[in-house]
Amino acid sequence: MPIIRIKKRKKTFVLVIPSFEDIFNAFYAGEIIKGASMAASRLKIDILIHITNRFDHRGWLDATLLDRRYIDGIIFGDIDNDISVVEKAITRGIPTIVLNNYLEEPINCIGIDNRRSAQEVVQHLIKLGHRNIATIVGDLSTQAGKMRLEGFYDALKQSNIAVPADNIVQGDFLRTPARAAAIKLLKLKERPTAVFAASDVMAFELIDVARANNLSIPEDLSIIGFDDNPLNMNSSVRLTTVSQPLMEMGRIGVEHLKQVSNAEAPLPLKLMLPAKLIARSSTGPCLESKS
C-alpha cells in the first residue's frame, strides 16, 4: 500500500533549550521562549519546545528532529560550547540558528558581546574607586560564562589591578552554588569591596548573604549583576546590572530562521545585539579608597 504524504500547512521549528536548575522559572529561558513564541504566532509557524539534558548532548537531536518531512528548522537556545551538535543538524540539511553565542565558524548565530559588557561592568567599579574586586563566575561551559570572566580579567589587567585567586568563585548561574560562593567571598580576610556576579540571580544571593552578615549595600559592598531580571523590581536594593535583549533574541531567531529556511538570507547569518550597563543603587564609591 503506497504511503500517503500530507503536506504540512505551516512550518515547524524546534527550540532546543538545555535544562538547568528551576528552568521553568528561569529568566533566560522564559524570555527566549516568549520572544520565539510571539514571533512564531505572528508568522504562522508552529514552534516546539524541546528541553534537553544539558550534560548528555547525544540526546539533544533524535531522528524526528532531523527529519525534514516534519521539522523545518532548529533554534538552539544555547549549545554549551558544543558546535558538533549544530553541525550534526546542518549535515542533515536542517536550517539552524544558535542563540546566546557569537561563533567564528560558518554557523548562523545571534548573541551579545559578553566580553565587552563585562569589561564595562568592571570599568564602572574601577571609576568608583574599587580595586579589590571579585566575581561570581557563571557556567564556564557556556560562551556567556566564559566571555564574562574573560572581560572581567581584561578590565583589571588594563588598569594594572591584580586579581587574588580567592576573588574568583564559581556560581554556575544557579542559586545554590552562588550562595555558597557568596559565603566564601565574604569570609575572606581581605574582603572585596565590590563583586561582579555574572547573573542577577547570583547577585541576589550575594545581596541576601551580605545582609545576613550585617553589610550595607553599597557602603560596605558594591554589587553588579547581569541580565536586568524583573526580580529586581521586588528587591529593596536596586541592582546595577547589564540589560540584554533576550526576548528580542528569541523573536529575531525565529524571524531569521524563517528567512534561512526559505533561502532568503545570505549565509552565514551573524548578529550581535546591543547590551547596556544600567547603574542603580547597589554600586557606590569605595569608602576604603577615601579613608
Contact 22, 263 (CB under 8 A): no
Given this model, what pLDDT does residue 5 score?
55
Given this model, what pLDDT does residue 1 score?
47
Given this model, what pLDDT does residue 56 score?
83
Contact 218, 192 (CB under 8 A): no
pLDDT at 2 over 60: no
Contact 197, 168 (CB under 8 A): no
pLDDT at 17 over 50: yes
Given this model, what pLDDT does residue 16 score?
95
Place of cell 564574562: 148
pLDDT at 21 over 80: no
Contact 230, 241 (CB under 8 A): no
Given this model, what pLDDT does residue 148 score?
98
List all residues 6 or more positions away from 38 whose beta carbon is below 8 Å from its beta carbon.
251
- Cis amide leading into 218 (omega within 30): yes
DSSP annotation of 268 reads S
Q: Where are the domains of the chain?
A: 12-112+245-274, 114-243+278-290
Name the nearest CA neighbour of 199 among 222, 172, 164: 172
- Level-2 CATH architecture, domain 114-243+278-290: 3-Layer(aba) Sandwich (3.40)
List all residues 6 or more positions away from 79 whose beta carbon is below 8 Å from its beta carbon.
18, 85, 86, 98, 101
Fold of 12-112+245-274: Rossmann fold (3.40.50)
Alpha-carbon distance of 121 to 152, in angstroms, equals 8
Place of cell 579608597: 289
pLDDT at 23 over 80: no
Alpha-carbon distance of 159 to 250, in angstroms, equals 36
Secondary structure class of 6 (helix, strand, coil): coil
Considering only residues 112 and 54, tell me which one the structure prediction assigns the higher pLDDT: 112
Residue 55, number of CB atoms within 10 A of its CB = 11
- Cα Rg for the chain, rounded, in angstroms? 21
Given this model, what pLDDT does residue 161 score?
97
pLDDT in tens, 131-166: 999 999 999 999 999 999 999 999 999 999 999 999
Instruction: Name residue 17's amino acid.
Output: I
- Fold identical between 12-112+245-274 and 114-243+278-290? yes
Given this model, what pLDDT does residue 291 score?
47
List all residues 6 or more positions away from 4 whose beta carbon is below 8 Å from its beta carbon.
none
Considering only residues 176 and 232, tell me which one the structure prediction assigns the higher pLDDT: 176
pLDDT in tens, 241-277: 999 999 999 999 999 999 999 999 889 999 999 999 9
Instruction: Enumerate the β-bridge partners of residue 195.
Output: 134, 223
Alpha-carbon distance of 116 to 265, in angstroms, equals 28
Report in angstroms the alpha-carbon separations of 113 from 151, 188, 215. 10, 31, 33
Given this model, what pLDDT does residue 104 score?
93
Q: What are phi and psi for residue 132, nearest 5 degrees? A: -95, 85
E strands within the chain?
A: 12-18, 46-52, 73-76, 96-99, 109-112, 133-137, 168-170, 194-197, 222-224, 241-243, 270-273, 276-278
Q: What are phi and psi for residue 126, nearest 5 degrees? A: -65, -40
Task: Quote the mean pLDDT of the chain.
Answer: 93
